[in-house]
Homo-oligomer: A and B are copies of this chain.
């Protein structure tokens, strides 16, 4: 398959999908859910082969759980599709309606972005979620899933594509890329692909960002912080930190660094170290953090538990049961540390002090800034978006979890009766700017 040629066709057909009604797109989603259920045996058979092959290759049990596509996951993705159908149409919304002059009316309306390339990890449910999010938002999509679920993806894609086309959407609405070298071809399609969404390791996302002129949405790093202020409910703080580190360690919104106010560090840090240690988390920290824990711990086992780290280690995303500890003099030092070493993803302050919380929420330059809760809440489902195509740490277009709204842009429509700019430049006519509706 020639990805460039296919992307070209998609681009020219994209306005057809963009012009489809919400009813037509919902009918396609409904047909997809029905087809997935009626053809589930075919999907499960392909998935069993993928899982068998993965097992033979000695894949880790945690990864195996992601590869699996069973009745429970089928039920989840179908629930997701029906939830998506119930959401209002993200396209065709009138965002502005302004009379510039008599009979000269400007509108801004939401429209799909166009052609989106999504490269995602080996997770069959991701194939269903991403393709249906793109269709609901009127976008054509080129989908490349992880190779470990190639057989499952092929069956899923064919079911999804057939159902969408039989429901009346254009055949060019979705395309599957299967070969790894097709990713490099896709990266060259800057004339026809409007947006790339890579999901995966830091290294992989960096590779995509460095090798394409297509705008990229997503995140490479997820270096999230929790700052424990001096006036804090210590037991709540420990619960939140344990959740943020251990509830799903491999997630980008898991916490990597804990900053503790110096006033409470001698008492709080040893308690925290004990709790983290019990939860199986390895500790790294500055010399000061190590000293405080060693000096103030009630058990000998904790006396030498902290590995000393350098400043630059604060830029490391562990994605593992490892955490960094640092003592800070005040909230300003915490804010500066986060803005300097963080990845502008999600950071949380734990405090009873309203003024400190307000300062932190204002000054921390991240997509999500939280007070008194776990960084793990950074997620499209938990924000009530229904689903997400990813989380963006970019500041342009969409920031944080990206759902339907992040998959649309707008266009300006101007309707006149022969107006020319010369008349306004010469003063014969003048604008009166009146917002309508």
Instruction: Report the minimum CB–CB distance from A134 to chain B (whole Å).
Output: 14
In chain A, positions 107-125 with a C-beta closer than 8 Å to chain B are 113-114
Majority SS of interface residues in chain A? mixed
A233–B418 Cα distance when bound, in Å, is 9
A425–B377 Cα distance when bound, in Å, is 11
In the assembled complex, A339 has its CB within 8 A of some CB on chain B: yes
B15/A421 in contact, CB under 8 A: no
Complex interface: stretch among A45-53, A67-75, A145-153, A394-402: A394-402
In the assembled complex, A19 has its CB within 8 A of some CB on chain B: yes
B-side contacts of A15, CB under 8 Å: 335, 339, 362-365
Of A114, A336, A409, A421, which is in contact with the most chain B CB atoms at under 10 Å from its CB?
A: A421
B368/A411 in contact, CB under 8 A: yes
Q: Assuming A365-B14, A382-B100, A383-B100, is B417 touching A409 (CB within 8 A)?
A: no
A289–B244 Cα distance when bound, in Å, is 68
Size category, A interface: 35 or more
Complex interface: stretch among A154-162, A207-215, A306-314: A207-215
Instruction: Report the minimum CB–CB distance from A394 to chain B (whole Å).
Output: 7
In the assembled complex, A202 has its CB within 8 A of some CB on chain B: no
In the assembled complex, A252 has its CB within 8 A of some CB on chain B: no
B-side contacts of A217, CB under 8 Å: 396
The 8 A CB mask of A247-280 against B (1 = contact, 0 = none) is 1100000000000000000000000000000000
B-side contacts of A409, CB under 8 Å: 395-396, 399
B418/A240 in contact, CB under 8 A: yes
In the assembled complex, A1 has its CB within 8 A of some CB on chain B: no
B-side contacts of A368, CB under 8 Å: 411-414
The 8 A CB mask of A405-435 against B (1 = contact, 0 = none) is 0000111111111111110110000010100
Of A14, A15, A18, which is in contact with the most chain B CB atoms at under 10 Å from its CB?
A: A15
In the assembled complex, A78 has its CB within 8 A of some CB on chain B: no
B12/A395 in contact, CB under 8 A: no
A247/B420 in contact, CB under 8 A: yes
- Pick the residue among B213, B240, B361 that contacts A420 (CB under 8 A): B240
A396–B195 Cα distance when bound, in Å, is 8
Q: Find the B residue at minimum CB distance from A359.
A: B19
Q: Assuming A194-B395, A395-B409, is B104 touching A416 (CB within 8 A)?
A: no
In chain A, positions 83-109 with a C-beta closer than 8 Å to chain B are 98, 100, 104, 106
Instruction: Report the minimum CB–CB distance from A214 to chain B (whole Å).
Output: 10
In the assembled complex, A367 has its CB within 8 A of some CB on chain B: yes
B-side contacts of A412, CB under 8 Å: 367-369, 378, 383, 399-400
In chain A, positions 152-203 with a C-beta closer than 8 Å to chain B are 194-195
A372/B421 in contact, CB under 8 A: no
What would 6 more interface pairs be, CB under 8 Å, given A194-B396, A217-B396?
Answer: A113-B396, A209-B213, A366-B411, A369-B412, A377-B419, A396-B396
The interface of chain A, by Cβ under 8 A from chain B, is 11-12, 14-16, 18-19, 98, 100, 104, 106, 113-114, 194-195, 209-210, 213, 215, 217, 233, 236, 239-240, 242-244, 247-248, 335-336, 339-340, 357, 361-374, 376-378, 382-384, 394-397, 399-400, 409-422, 424-425, 431, 433
Could you list some 16 contacts between A and B, CB below 8 A?
A: A11-B339, A114-B395, A209-B213, A210-B213, A247-B425, A368-B414, A369-B413, A369-B414, A372-B418, A372-B419, A373-B414, A374-B421, A377-B414, A377-B416, A382-B424, A399-B409
